[in-house]
Amino acid sequence: MTAALEQALSRTFPNPSHELVQVVRGRRSGLVITVAIHSTALGPAAGGCRIAHYADPSAPIADALRLSAAMTEKNALAGLEHGGAKAVVALPAAARPTGEERTALLHDLGDTIESLGGRYIAGPDVGSGPADMSVIGSRTTHVCCRPAEEGGSGDSSLHTARGTLAALGAVADEAFGSPELAGRTFGVIGLGSVGAHVARLLDRAGARLVVTDVNPATRGLAQELGATWVHPDDALTADVDILVPAALGGLLTARTVPLLRCAAVAGPANNQLDEPSTADLLAARNILWAPDPVVSSGGVIHATGVEVRRESEERLSERIQGIADTLRQVFHLARTRATTPATAASRLAERRVREGHPSPTRTAAPAPTS
């Protein structure tokens, strides 16, 4: 075990619960690749490949440990027969490799994934996309989200957005007593791949929109939808019914929570709470928070459904709509146990992993990937 691995383990998880942590140097690229498999209790572990620069050598390992544990929770809450894992490739500089260099690192990643014999199914994450999954797929079958024209499930952002819409219905019901979205005001922060779909779907549902993005090019979408545009600095304090974070994580902090002027926060952005105790600050202000592992799970439900379970679009739509039922269960647990939705979601995930089945509606065992 390297010193960096020991340091990351003791910092991130004083009592590590991971099934496997592998740190290798790519034969072709020379880059350090970490794969962390947190759990395979529910089935092969699924999770993305992050390709990023880290200043601290122990940080990529710590990230893999943290993100793989989060994937166990997300997949269990999504009702999937998958555990959680993550791969992290640490780049020496912020510039992303292209051409032959990129191919070399993706082949190294593919070989590392293949060596795990199917315990880990990889997908895209920060720094990687469907085209990269195709290159990884030349070295291993244990990869999903390849481009649709190659028989893969392709870009998952629309399905993540569909899941977010289902979630917003459950949130409106809990906060206002009706799942109706028409006439409610939503503040969408980030009009990227997922946020733009969410804004369009909300518009189609008759909602009123307040939107923002740091990229001024997205103002065109705001105009097209007749949405109110606000500066990114003013988005958190917008007077809306539900705030929908669809940009970066870490938005909800001890500094920002007191500024909020909404009844609820629910969006697809990953890791919205800067730390677990921020959930208590939201509860103290009577602001309903929908845990992002539940809200954002439409993409992983769809990708694994198409490429691993070979499910029909009809079945996948049912599963994505089921995100609303899971959230209702989380809110019910939080209410009846006098705890936060964040704690209720963690407990629900732990129970599903412990009991060895993802949800009451267990489906057929996963088919092998092609």
Catalytic residues: 86
C-beta of 2: minimal distance to ligand NAD in Å? 28
- Which amino acid makes up residue 181? L
Amino acid 140 reads T
CB 304 within 8 A of CB 80: yes
User: Least distance (Å) from ligand NAD to the CB of residue 273?
Assistant: 13
- 164-200 exposure pattern, b = at least 16 Cβ within 10 A, e = fewer: bbbbbbbbbbbbeeeeebeebbbbbbbbbbbbbbbbb
Binding mask 316-355 for ligand NAD (x = CB under 6 A): ----------------------------------------
122: contact with ligand NAD by CB under 6 A: no
Q: Which residue is nearest to ligand NAD (CB)?
A: 192
Q: How far is the CB of 165 from ligand NAD (least distance, A)?
A: 14
Does 296 help bind ligand NAD (rule: CB under 6 A)? yes
Choose, by CB under 6 A, the member of 166, 188, 189, 282 that binds ligand NAD: 189
Supply the minimum distance, in Å, between the C-beta of residue 79 and ligand NAD. 16
Of 256, 255, 286, the closest CA to residue 189 belongs to: 256
Q: Which of residues 205-224 bind ligand NAD (CB under 6 A)?
A: 212-215, 218
Interaction with ligand NAD in 126-155: which residues (CB under 6 A)?
A: none
Spatial separation of the C-alpha atoms in residues 354 and 55, rounded to whole Å: 37
Those residues with Cβ within 8 angstroms of residue 330's Cβ, 6 or more apart along the chain or in another chain:
77, 290, 291, 294, 341, 344, 345, 348
74 closest CA partner among 42, 35, 50: 42
**Contact status, residue 305 vs residue 151, Cβ threshold 8 Å:** no
The one among 12, 112, 160, 346 contacting ligand NAD by CB under 6 A: 160
User: Which one of residues 9, 21, 166, 247 is an interface residue with ligand NAD (CB under 6 A)?
Assistant: 247
Residue closer to ligand NAD (CB basis): 281 or 320: 320
Q: Which of 50, 56, 41 is nearest to 355 (CA)?
A: 41
Binding site for ligand NAD (CB under 6 A): 156-157, 160, 189-195, 212-215, 218, 232, 246-249, 268-270, 296, 299
